Chains A and B, each alone.
Chain A
Amino acid sequence: MESIQAILNNPYVFAALMALAPLLWILPYALFAIWFERKVSAHMQDRLGPMRTGGWHGWSQSIADLVKLLLKEDLIPAKSKHGLFMLAPYVVFVGSYAAYAVIPFTSAYVGSEINVGIFYFVAVSSLVVVGILMGAWSSNNKWSLFGAMRSAAQIVSYEIPGTLAILAVVMVVGSLSLQDIVRAQEGWFWNWFVFGKFPFLFIAFLIYFLCSLAEVNRTPFDIPEAESELVAGYHTEYSGMRFAMFYLAEYANMFAVSAVAVTLFFGGWQSPFGTFLSGPAWGVFWFLSKGMGFIFLQMWLRWTLPRLRVDQLMYVNWKVLMPFAFVNIIFVGLWMMIAQ
């Protein structure tokens, strides 16, 4: 017993355990979300979706898929850059996983309590682009490269208004730490930034939400993997477990941006009803359910809307979101001056 205690007290072991903790959520979540997306899309389209595997509403379909992907032959194109090709899916996943380090799941748990949390999040989630470019270029496929170029252009562009929207919140709170931002939204749900400080932070939320869709390549901004245009975009040549890593990273990323949206605008782990059902354990519950709400919203949009064209995508970014984000920041600044 004491030896276990000693091992846990070792700072390196402790750090490793803390770092692995989000995996406890991401892996089951990804399996669930994949199943959930299939069910959501199916019910929106007058279908039932998977119904057989595992009995109740095909609940174990994703697990079966995972096993299939694990057993599948790992195909590597002969003329690819083998090293980069094999590495790329992990780089993509690392990019999205690293973001979880600063996400406050509850008042008691955040992977790394650093005081520039949101800045770190913005910076590290760009790492995904590197992995995507790496995988696409190394697979030696023109369609993949096409998708990756689109992806790079899109993610890099949409980061700017997204970050400006985040900046509005940071200005209001006066801190880059995500825990501080959550604590600033204490009380009932009308204290959440999306409702409070109306309308500036509501506009900021809309801008951030649109940009987050673009960052995770979801419809209507899914042009990097536009199936009907680019076959499968940057992961055309991947199969088996490496493909699954891309998939996992995509879903991990979806939750990461949702988590940040929740943290910034929807009170993070705060209960919507003041002190009712609050506390660290309930905090996890509120945080995850709000996050899943956003996941559902993303799915809803995906199965409803068509896809934008690449120039329209850029138009929306540079000519619509950017000016709004800038003006919004100016107004937040003015409002802050007046309020104080």
Chain B
Amino acid sequence: MQASEIHEIVGAQFGDAILEFKGDAVDPFIVLTAQRILDVALFLRGDERLQFGSLMCLSGADYNDGTLGVVYHVDSMSLGHKIVLKVRVPKDNPHVPSVESVWKTANWHEREAYDLIGVVFDGHPDLRRILLPDDWEGHPLRKDYKVPEFYNGMKVPY
């Protein structure tokens, strides 16, 4: 199924949630309002025509314009099509509903995005840091991140 058809199906259901659709990009994507992502995800997985059963990749990103983003690459193993979903949230209040209940893959990926970018996933069952130590301060992949001088008394930059 082509991206535009997927967009139509999603648009019919969640027309108000879609902010942008770009079908001619290398990977076509749909930009959604952050608060609706969980509903859309449930729809994508459950709809007979779409059957987006697996989440390939979930990435956080700092767009360096005061917003953070979360990018969902989803595909359907049964139907063989894929689509990219994006949401954006302001940096000072980065709350996105968790899609862990839809795709378990998101469990660790959301923890990673929280760890490195600082997006807070509401409804995640176990939102802890995953790659960095629990007492690390800051989120290193943010563009304004400053490497700390010391960590637990150890000098960081060398």
The reply, when asked whether chain A contacts chain B directly with Cβ atoms under 8 A, is no
